Amino acid sequence: MKKRRTLLSGIQPSGDLLLGSYFGAIKNWAELAGEYDCFFFIADMHAITVRQNPADLRRRTLQQLAQYIACGIDPETCALFVQSHVSEHAELAWALGCCTMFGELQRMTQFKEKSAKNSENVNAGLFTYPVLMAADILLYQADLVPVGEDQKQHLELTRDIAQRFNGLCGDVFTIPEPYIPKTGARIMSLQDPGNKMSKSDSAAGASVYLLDSPDAVMRAFRRAVTDSGSDIRYDPAGKPGVSNLMQIYSAATGKSFGEIEVEFSGKGYGDFKTAVGETVTELLRPIRERTEDLLKNKDYLASIYKSGAAKASERARRTLGKVYKKLGFAEKA
């Protein structure tokens, strides 16, 4: 029997999950899960590069696990776990940090952006977290990593680190490949379609969250920024607002941009925004309701992340053992 390839991904619990989190990541995880040996985690170690309220971080971690399941990730077939519960992530990050060049980390775009936004807390973790991300991926010998466009640079660094280690110490790591969905990979702000929909965007109506009420979802779409003119066509450069709404509608319905243009030919922006809002409302309704039900059973959720961490640790220990042997570390008694 042919061995299944491995797929891995994770999201930080630094804020509530967005519509973009679903279309750009979790929906694809669920669709790919039947084809791969899957490891999906809550990246709480990454989250603390920015100061977090401990109680909120714990709440969002459990809530995010429930949302993974509510979005269709099957805990019986996929390992769902919390990053900090698998100590090998931090251990491998140190080893990989010793074969990562300072200049490589200096060039990381997100370090520059996050440093500018958090100038009072430019910590070492913010600088080195791409190495931890590399450890996340390489620990599990991942073949495929679903990433958004803004994470491609991190995956390229991961590949560089893996190839460098393999070249110096002998083949240990699988070189991962990116998976970038053709539609819905980058959902933009409803108030500023030039920027990605973000957890940190405080503008009213800019973002839609998976647990938003139907009223909140409809309000956000009715207030969504559109463009000059009245025709509904896909033109990201000339009509970024409408194009973003078309991207969302396409991801929610499976319709092509051409089909959407025909469907709304002769109709105004108001009709289109209402249709997108209603479609997203119905898409999110079962996710919100299922999440709320799961959060009532904390023991069940604990059993899921414990069993997921056990499965993850088993794979991670094998990889870390190979790394330590190649580095020349003495074996444990």
Question: Residue 52 has what pLDDT?
Answer: 93
Q: Active-site residues: which are they?
A: 114, 196, 199
Plot region of 100 (φ>0 → left; ψ -120 to 50 → alpha; else → beta) = beta
Note the pTM of the prediction, 2 decimals.
0.91
pLDDT tens digits for range 199-211:
777 777 889 999 9
Q: How far apart are the first and last CA of the chain?
A: 36
pLDDT tens digits for range 263-321:
999 899 999 999 999 999 999 999 999 999 999 999 999 999 999 999 999 999 999 99
Rounded Cα distance, 63 and 40, in Å = 15
Question: Residue 184 has what pLDDT?
Answer: 53
Closest C-alpha to 185, from 33, 42, 25, 67: 25
H helix or E strand, kind and range, residue 313: helix 298-327
pLDDT tens digits for range 51-105:
999 999 999 999 999 999 999 999 999 999 999 999 999 999 999 999 999 999 9
Question: Residue 6 has what pLDDT?
Answer: 96
Q: In order of start, what are the domains of the chain with their CATH numbers?
A: 6-184+298-327 (3.40.50.620), 214-292 (1.10.240.10)
Rounded Cα distance, 298 and 91, in Å = 29
Residue 10, strand partner residues: 41
Closest C-alpha to 319, from 96, 161, 141: 141
**Mean pLDDT within 223-234:** 91
Rounded Cα distance, 71 and 83, in Å = 20
Closest C-alpha to 115, from 107, 104, 126: 126
Rounded Cα distance, 277 and 222, in Å = 7
Rounded Cα distance, 211 and 205, in Å = 14
Rounded Cα distance, 123 and 121, in Å = 6
pLDDT tens digits for range 270-285:
999 999 999 999 999 9
Rounded Cα distance, 166 and 236, in Å = 41
- Rounded to the nearest integer, the mean pLDDT of the chain is 92
Give Cβ neighbours of residue 121 (< 8 Å, ≥ 6 apart).
Answer: 50, 51
pLDDT score of 182 more than 70:
no
Task: Report whether 85 contacts 39 (CB < 8 A).
Answer: no
